Amino acid sequence: MKPEFLPLLSKRLDWKVRENFVAAYEAMWRDLDYQIRERKSPTLKLMATGWKKDRLRTIAVLNAFNRTVLGPLAAAAGRTKGTELGLSRPIHYGTEITISADANSDIRAALADFEEIRKALKIPPKCLHVSRMADMVYYLNRKIDGGF
Amino acid sequence: MAASKKNADPWLADVDKRMRRFASQHAKAFAKTKREQSGFFEIGCFIALVEDYSKQGFTVRANNLAADGSFRYLTSPNGNPDNFSYVTMDRGSVVCELRQQIRLRSVLHPDIAFTPDMVVLRSGTQIVQIKDPDYANGKRGMFAAPASAALAVHECKSLVGFPELYVSFLGMLSATGHPAHIMTTSSPPLGHLASTLFVGGESSALHLRMLEALSKHFPVNIVTGLHKGGWVLTKGKKPMNRV
């Protein structure tokens, strides 16, 4: 099953970005199917605690969105302190990008809201940065075992 | 919300509700083109580098600014560097310039020329414009600086790293023909961050071991996981290579 919010999220994306986004979560979904098929114990252990397949597929989508859509923007626009360059002194990258505290307030708001969603859903932070389902399963198991 | 009712799992219904709201509220902020994304990432690397020089005690100054004081970032080697901004860093007798999209001409052969995303040049390095019949039909000049003047060469990749990407960065450094870019010397470092490959995605434990081994054998740094934002290059567990 695909997460219900997925069409709404991906229809806003530029097609090249969407291609990367889809490739990223589909790779994780394949990895998850493989782990279930091969009866990998960390995955089975996690699923036995209530983190069923649909939930893991949903976290994979959030992970892919974070890595392929928000991550590159966070690099320059998520900053609030440090050198004046890109904060009080705008950086113009051609005509299409301006990096400054004012120009990127909408991106910072999106990053902050996404972080709030992660916290509310009790997803360990590293789960949204790893590129393999096995690593995501590892961090979720660690959380369940009281590692966080 | 109707869609949420379909989910028997309350956690899934909660994700759906939150992400629908997120998509509606923030689409304009996150829906960027691939080129814009790459631009944001490259500027993130650029700022991290500038911050690193400040932390190393260099005085950092932006030059050749626009009339309104903003920084004009050179986005392509086709642009005339004289029309764009750059940063100078100085600490005592060490003075250098951080520039973007400057083509380097190899020490090995003048026909070997390529453009790293960022390069730290000795201050006052001439960026020469030469017309070449095989470049833009000889109508426009090709700008390039000698690779021998490059103190460090930096490349930014907004993707998940992989071994072949890491070693291809060594190939780029090797092609400069400047021994200092690829061979560790006994000279005391002057504080410059050694040539660095900035990678957006996280690395697996296996890749991190490879990166550590590479940085032991070559005067380079390969920094991964930069998509997480909040970059502080010197905060890591191990010190960065410096030249």
Q: Do the chains contact at A93 and B9, CB–CB below 8 Å?
A: no
What are A19's two structure tokens? 């291609």
Q: Which of B40, B60, B202 sits opposite A77 (nearest CB)?
A: B40
What are A18's two structure tokens? 């969407």
Q: Give mean pLDDT, residues B87-116.
A: 96
- Is A84 part of any domain? yes
Q: Which of residues 86-105 of A touch B (CB under 8 A)?
A: 86, 89-94, 96-97, 99
CB pairs under 8 A between A and B: 193
Q: pLDDT at residue B124 above 80?
A: yes
Q: Which of A77, A120, A132 sits opposite B204 (nearest CB)?
A: A132
Number of structural domains found in chain A: 1
Residue B202 has a pLDDT of 83
Query: Measured between CB atoms, does A110 come within 8 Å of chain B?
Result: yes
Q: Which of A75, A92, A117 sits opposite B226 (nearest CB)?
A: A75
- Is A138 part of any domain? yes
The separation between CA B95 and the C-alpha centre of its own chain, rounded to angstroms, equals: 20
Q: Do the chains contact at A130 and B202, CB–CB below 8 Å?
A: yes
Q: Which numeric CATH code is attached to B52-235? A: 3.40.91
Which residue in B1, B18, B76 has the most chain A C-beta atoms within 10 A of its own C-beta, making it the best mutation to test that interface? B18
- Is A87 part of any domain? yes
**Residues whose CB is less than 8 angstroms from the CB of residue B221 and which lie 6 or more positions away in sequence, other chains included:** B193, B194, B195, B196, B197, B215, B240, B241
- Is A2 part of any domain? no
User: Exposed/middle/buried for B61, CB within 10 Å: 0-12, 13-18, 19+?
Assistant: exposed
- Taking the CA of residue A35 and the nearest CA in chain B, the distance in Å comes to 18
Residue pair B229/A74 in contact (Cβ under 8 Å)? The answer is: yes
Question: What range defines the domain where residue A29 resides?
Answer: 15-144
Q: What is the pLDDT of residues A53-101, one digit of tens each?
A: 999 999 999 999 999 999 999 888 888 888 899 999 999 999 889 999 9
- Is A3 part of any domain? no
- Is A71 part of any domain? yes
- Is A5 part of any domain? no
Percent of chain B having pLDDT more than 70? 93
Q: What is the pLDDT of residues A124-142, one digit of tens each?
A: 999 999 889 999 999 999 9
Q: Give mean pLDDT, residues B89-111.
A: 95
Q: What is the pTM of this model?
A: 0.90
Instruction: Confirm whether the ipTM is greater than 0.85.
Output: yes
